[in-house]
Amino acid sequence: MIGHHPFLPHLKALLQAARLARGIHVYYLEKGFSQGTKSGPNDLVTQADKEAEEAIRDFLLARFPEAGFFGEEGGSHGSKEMRFIVDPLDGTVNYAHGFPFYGVSLALEVAGRIEVGVIMDTARNETFYALRGGGAYLDGRPIRVTERTELLGSLLATGFPYDVAKDPENLTYFSRALRRGLLVRRPGAAALDLAYVAAGRLEGFWEVKLNPWDVAAGWLLVEEAGGRVTGLKGEPYALGNRYIVATNGRIHEALLQVLQEDLE
């Protein structure tokens, strides 16, 4: 099915771009890197974030000059009809500490729809990718979400924005989940969290205040792997929404209910 997909050339280019990013992540991890902060002391940006984004942008736009580009570090430029949405290093805090859970997330959006998604774990060298209508894969093998139907015992992940102290909304959901006895992790790289739902390593994931570059590729991966992605009330997800809930589908309603339920 993947063999004749109209966006196969874009998938191939995104896979190459992910490898370029990996080279940069690995290089700076070995050599050492300069770093600074953005919105606050925990919101780090390193030389690897910036150089990976430049390398990805130059590579993709040389190949597809008509496309626009929307990256975390450089903002949005060019066409919005067809554009690449890129997080050059997802999990920067993990990366800066040598905690091996980070990667790169690349998506192609055409007429407002994500058509291709690639997420590479650049520490483990695992590559997750999906083509709309063509399925989801990990290193060339098809992946599926899990078949677990019970929320209790399901493995879930979430994350927090850098300004969580000022905007602690997700603490409410986190606390509701823990008080219900759910198993929750906070791995620290939203794109990989979504890829893990797609690959059946997690049953579900939710987060508040993510950006389009964090979720564009993972959203498609979860759906192509047979899962479900919505907002907090079960409404269809759209890029830029404040809430994202992504699951294997089977635990979705039960998770939405726990997140919305006031125990007090």
What does the binding site for ligand IPD look like in residue numbers (CB under 6 A)?
A: 87, 90-92, 159-161, 188-190, 210, 214
- Binders of Ca ion among 211-230, rule CB under 5 A? 214
Min CB(263)–Ca ion separation in Å: 31
Min CB(160)–ligand IPD separation in Å: 5
Min CB(66)–ligand IPD separation in Å: 27
Q: Which residues pair with 15 in a beta bridge?
A: none
Using CB under 5 A as the binding rule, whether residue 207 contacts Ca ion is answered as no
- DSSP H helices, the chain, are 8-31, 47-63, 92-97, 169-179, 190-198, 212-224, 252-260
Please identify, using beta-carbon distances, which residue of 130 and 208 lies nearer to ligand IPD: 208
Which of Ca ion, ligand IPD, none binds 223 (CB below 5-8 Å, type-dependent)?
none
Please identify, using beta-carbon distances, which residue of 51 and 87 lies nearer to ligand IPD: 87
Which of ligand IPD, Ca ion, none binds 224 (CB below 5-8 Å, type-dependent)?
none
Please identify, using beta-carbon distances, which residue of 39 and 62 lies nearer to ligand IPD: 39
Which of Ca ion, ligand IPD, none binds 239 (CB below 5-8 Å, type-dependent)?
none
Which of Ca ion, ligand IPD, none binds 218 (CB below 5-8 Å, type-dependent)?
none
**Cα–Cα distance for residue pair 127/106, rounded to 1 Å:** 11
Q: Tokens standing for 205?
A: 């994931």
Which of Ca ion, ligand IPD, none binds 121 (CB below 5-8 Å, type-dependent)?
none
Q: Count of H helices and E strands in the chain?
A: 7, 15
Min CB(105)–ligand IPD separation in Å: 8
Count of residues that interact with Ca ion, criterion CB under 5 A: 6
Using CB under 5 A as the binding rule, whether residue 53 contacts Ca ion is answered as no
Across 64-98, b (16+ Cβ under 10 Å) vs e yields beebbbbbbbeeeeeeeebbbbbbbbbbbebbbee
Please identify, using beta-carbon distances, which residue of 131 and 195 lies nearer to ligand IPD: 195
Min CB(85)–ligand IPD separation in Å: 13
Which residues, 6+ apart, have CB-to-CB distance to 158 below 8 Å? 170, 173, 174, 177, 184, 185, 186, 193, 205, 206, 207
Using CB under 5 A as the binding rule, whether residue 121 contacts Ca ion is answered as no
**Cα–Cα distance for residue pair 19/213, rounded to 1 Å:** 18
Sign of CA dihedral 214, 221, 206, 146: negative
Across 150-181, b (16+ Cβ under 10 Å) vs e yields ebeebbbbbbbbbebeeeeebeebbebbeebe
Please identify, using beta-carbon distances, which residue of 102 and 137 lies nearer to ligand IPD: 102
Using CB under 5 A as the binding rule, whether residue 90 contacts Ca ion is answered as yes
**Cα–Cα distance for residue pair 166/162, rounded to 1 Å:** 9
**Which parts of this chain interact with Ca ion (CB under 5 A)?**
72, 87, 89-90, 92, 214
